[in-house]
C-alpha cells in the first residue's frame, strides 16, 4: 500500500479520532479477567486491538463485537489454546498477555509478525522469571515467539530499569495471578492506564510516593475484578499527527473532540506549546477515570526546543512526528534520552532521520535521539516506512503536506494497526 500526498494550502476542521489503543487493549483484557460482563464503547477497531480480541476468544472468553461496541464476558479460568496466540504487530499485546498468562497455569505460545518477532522481550522475561514463571524467548534478547509453561508464581518487588508502561503492566497483571503481593517501583512515571483501570474494575492498587519522586505500585494476588462499562476516549497518539499537521503553518487549525489527555500521555501538547503552537483545551472532564477534552491546535511561528528527560515517556510515540514538525521550526530542536525509539516497530531514530533527509531535512542522528535544524523547505520525494511501522508512515504523510511537489509513502499498510481511517481523516481537514 502506498500513499500519494500533495502539499496542502490550508488545514482547518473539527473531528474525532478512533479510541485509544492502549485503553482498548486493557479494557478487553481486564474484561476477560473480571467476573460478569464488561461493555466497551468506542473500542479501537484496528489490527492490533482485534488481535487482542481474537486471543481472548482462543482462551475461552465470550467476546462480541458490533463495530466499536464490544462486550466481554469474563471467565474464571483461561483454557489452553489449541494453537499459538498471534499478537500481530503489537508489542503491547505480547507483553500484557505474557503477564496475564504467566499466572494462569496453562501452556501457550505468543507469536507475532515479522516486525514483532525482532523486538526484544527480555524486559518482561526477566521480572516474570523472577516471579518463577516459566517463560523463554529466542536468543539473548528473548525475541518472540515467547513460550510459557503453566506453573504457580509468586509476587516480587521490582524496580523498573527504564520507564515502560508495558513492562509495568505485564508485572502487575502477573501479580494478580501470583501468591502474595507484587510491587513495581518507578523512578520516572510511565503511562498509568493500568492503574486507573484496575480501580475501575474494583481492584484499586496501593500507590505510594517514595523519595525523589519515585512511585511504588502494589497489587495483591487473588484480587478479584468486576465487570464494568468502559468508554474509551480518542487516542492522543493518533490525534498527535493531526495536531502536528495543524502546527506546520501559522493560521492552520484543527480541533479534535473527546481526546484523552491523561497526564502521563500529554507531553506532545506541552512540546507543541513550547514550540510556539497555540494549544487550547476545552470541555475538560473525566470519563472512566481518564481525563478527556476537546483539543484545538492553531499554527504559529515555530521555534526549536529541547525534548528530553522526564517528558520522554509521556510522548515517546509522538517523537517521530515532532521531528518532522521541527523541520519547520526556527533553530535547533534537540531530541535526547530517547534510545527507546531504536527498539520500537523499527529503529525510528535511524529511519525517520534517513527518510526526512530524502525530503531535504537537516537532521543529525544521535545514539539517543536527533538534532533537527530548521526551517527548511521540504521537497516532494519517494519515501518509505519500514513494514510494520505505522507511526513512520503517518509521520511522512504529515511532512509531505508542506513539501514542494508531490510525495509517495511506500509500505503504508501498517497504518491499519492503529488508525485505519487516517488518510480519510487527514484529507477531511486539508485544503489543496
How far is residue 149 CA from its own chain's centroid?
28
Residue located via cell numbers 489454546 = 81
Positive or negative torsion for Cα 352, 354, 360, 365: positive
Q: Is 406 a catalytic residue?
A: no
Q: In 75-221, where does DSSP find H-type helix?
A: 91-102, 122-130, 165-176, 193-200
Distance CA(141)–CA(107), nearest Å, equals: 21
Which one from 317, 347, 368, 389 is the annotated catalytic residue? 317
Q: Which residues sit opposite 207 in a β-bridge? A: 217
Residue 328 burial by CB count (10 A; 0-12/13-18/19+): exposed, middle or buried? buried
Query: Residue 343: how many CB atoms within 10 A of its CB?
Result: 15
Positive or negative torsion for Cα 351, 354, 360, 361: positive
Q: With contact defined as beta carbons under 8 Å apart, do 299 and 328 qualify?
A: no
Distance CA(181)–CA(363), nearest Å, equals: 47
Distance CA(261)–CA(280), nearest Å, equals: 12
Residues 391-418: b if buried by 16+ CB within 10 A, e if exposed: bbbbbbbbbbbbbeeebbbebbbbbbbb
Q: What does 71-98 look like in DSSP terms, one character per residue?
A: EEE--SSPPPPSS-EE-TT-HHHHHHHH
Catalytic residue IDs = 317
Amino acid at each position: 500500500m502506498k500513499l500519494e500526498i500533495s502539499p496542502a494550502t490550508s488545514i482547518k476542521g473539527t473531528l474525532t479520532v478512533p479510541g485509544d489503543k492502549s485503553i482498548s487493549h486493557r479494557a478487553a483484557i481486564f474484561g476477560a479477567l473480571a467476573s460478569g460482563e464488561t461493555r466497551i464503547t468506542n473500542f479501537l477497531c484496528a489490527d492490533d486491538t482485534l488481535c487482542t480480541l481474537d486471543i481472548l476468544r482462543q482462551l475461552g472468553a465470550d467476546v462480541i463485537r458490533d463495530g466499536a461496541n464490544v462486550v466481554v464476558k469474563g471467565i474464571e479460568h483461561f483454557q489452553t489454546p489449541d494453537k499459538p496466540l498471534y499478537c500481530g504487530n503489537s508489542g503491547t499485546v505480547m507483553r500484557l498477555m505474557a503477564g496475564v498468562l504467566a499466572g494462569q497455569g496453562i501452556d501457550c505460545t505468543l507469536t507475532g509478525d515479522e516486525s514483532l518477532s525482532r523486538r526484544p522481550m527480555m524486559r518482561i522475561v526477566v521480572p516474570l522469571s523472577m516471579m518463577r514463571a516459566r517463560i523463554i524467548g529466542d536468543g539473548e534478547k528473548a525475541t518472540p515467539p515467547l513460550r510459557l509453561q503453566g506453573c504457580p508464581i509468586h509476587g516480587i518487588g521490582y524496580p523498573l530499569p527504564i520507564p515502560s508502561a508495558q513492562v509495568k503492566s505485564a508485572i502487575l497483571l502477573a501479580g494478580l495471578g501470583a501468591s502474595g503481593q507484587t510491587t513495581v517501583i518507578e523512578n520516572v512515571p510511565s503511562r498509568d492506564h493500568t492503574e486507573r483501570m484496575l480501580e475501575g474494575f474494583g481492584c484499586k492498587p496501593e500507590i505510594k510516593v517514595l523519595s525523589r519522586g519515585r512511585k511504588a505500585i502494589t497489587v495483591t494476588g487473588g484480587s478479584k475484578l468486576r465487570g464494568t462499562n468502559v468508554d474509551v476516549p480518542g487516542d492522543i497518539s493518533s490525534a498527535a499527527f493531526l495536531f502536528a499537521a495543524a502546527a506546520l503553518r501559522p493560521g492552520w487549525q484543527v480541533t479534535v473532540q473527546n481526546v484523552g489527555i491523561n497526564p502521563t500521555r500529554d507531553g506532545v501538547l506541552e512540546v507543541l506549546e513550547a514550540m510556539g503552537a497555540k494549544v487550547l483545551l476545552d470541555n475538560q472532564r473525566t470519563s472512566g477515570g481518564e481525563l478527556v477534552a476537546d483539543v484545538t491546535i492553531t499554527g504559529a511561528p515555530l521555534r526549536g526546543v529541547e525534548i528530553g528527560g522526564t517528558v520522554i515517556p509521556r510522548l515517546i510515540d509522538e517523537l517521530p512526528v515532532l521531528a518532522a514538525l521541527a523541520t519547520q521550526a526556527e533553530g535547533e530542536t534537540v531530541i535526547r534520552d530517547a534510545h527507546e525509539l531504536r527498539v520500537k516497530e523499527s529503529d525510528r531514530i535511524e529511519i525517520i532521520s534517513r527518510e526526512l533527509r530524502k525530503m531535504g531535512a537537516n537532521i543529525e542522528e544521535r545514539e539517543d535521539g536527533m538534532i533537527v535544524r530548521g526551517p527548511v523547505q521540504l521537497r516532494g520525494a519517494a519515501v518509505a516506512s519500514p513494514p510494520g511501522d505505522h507511526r513512520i508512515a503517518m509521520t511522512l504523510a504529515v511532512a509531505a503536506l508542506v513539501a514542494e511537489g508531490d510525495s509517495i509513502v511506500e509500505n503504508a499498510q501498517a497504518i491499519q494497526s492503529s488508525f485505519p481511517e487516517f488518510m480519510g481523516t487527514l484529507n477531511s481537514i486539508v485544503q489543496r
